[in-house]
Amino acid sequence: MSPNDRPRFSALLGDVMAFYRQDMSKFATAVWWEACLPFDFEQVAKAMNAHAIDPDRGQYPPKPADIVRLLQGTHGDRALIAWGKTLEAMGRVGSYATVVFDDPVIHAVIDDLGGWVQVCRTKQDEMPFLQKRFCDAYKAYAKRGADLRYPAKLLGTTDLENAKSGYDLKAPPVLIGNAQAAAKVLQLGGAKLETTTLTDILKRTPLLGDET
């Protein structure tokens, strides 16, 4: 959500809590806002409705953790999904291309594991060990929320060699997964970019995965 969504989010939260005959304090509203900020307003509204009609949990007023759990699953679930996406990209893209995933946590994890090239060069018999390290790191980084820091793109062999030789990195990276989300990761990551708008990024970058 964006700051412009806060009034209708507050209104939605007030309606939900009124349904459960609960009052909302300023502190509680602020906690709710921070918890739901990473998601779209429409997603949050659907999650609120899903909680309300749940035969078990819906008997009680929702807590921020209930809605976040509905929206993103547990950190363990997300870690396994992220590992699957990474493993597919390792096979389809390989170590030579620079990549940008649609999940910034993946960037933080891969950077922690030594970078895209090193991860891609993992031997087959070492994959189970790498998977465990990846998932453990993912769960740890995912808990950082808005405090997460990550590289804007994961450099492949070609860009690494060009960087060592002092050449500019002008070739666009491969976007992996949802195009809009990956472009946002590229835009908001730690590396400085000449391109500053999502539209420009999407025009300049090839895509692997879902275009929606």
Q: Is 212 helix (H, G, I), strand (E, B) or coil?
A: coil
CA distance linking residue 202 with residue 179, whole number of Å: 7
For 34, the token pair is: 């921070």
- H-run or E-run covering 119: helix 116-120
Q: Is 97 helix (H, G, I), strand (E, B) or coil?
A: coil
Give the pTM. Answer: 0.62
Confidence at residue 111, expressed as pLDDT on a 0 to 100 scale:
95
Q: Look at 3-7, 134-138, 201-205 and tell me which has the smallest mean pLDDT.
A: 201-205
Question: Cβ neighbours of residue 23 under 8 Å, at least 6 residues apart?
Answer: 17
CA distance linking residue 83 with residue 87, whole number of Å: 6
Per-residue pLDDT reduced to its tens digit, 28-82: 999 999 888 878 888 899 999 999 999 988 999 999 989 988 887 666 778 888 9
Q: Domain-by-domain residue ranges, the chain?
A: 3-72, 75-208
Per-residue pLDDT reduced to its tens digit, 84-124: 999 999 999 999 999 999 999 999 999 999 999 999 999 99
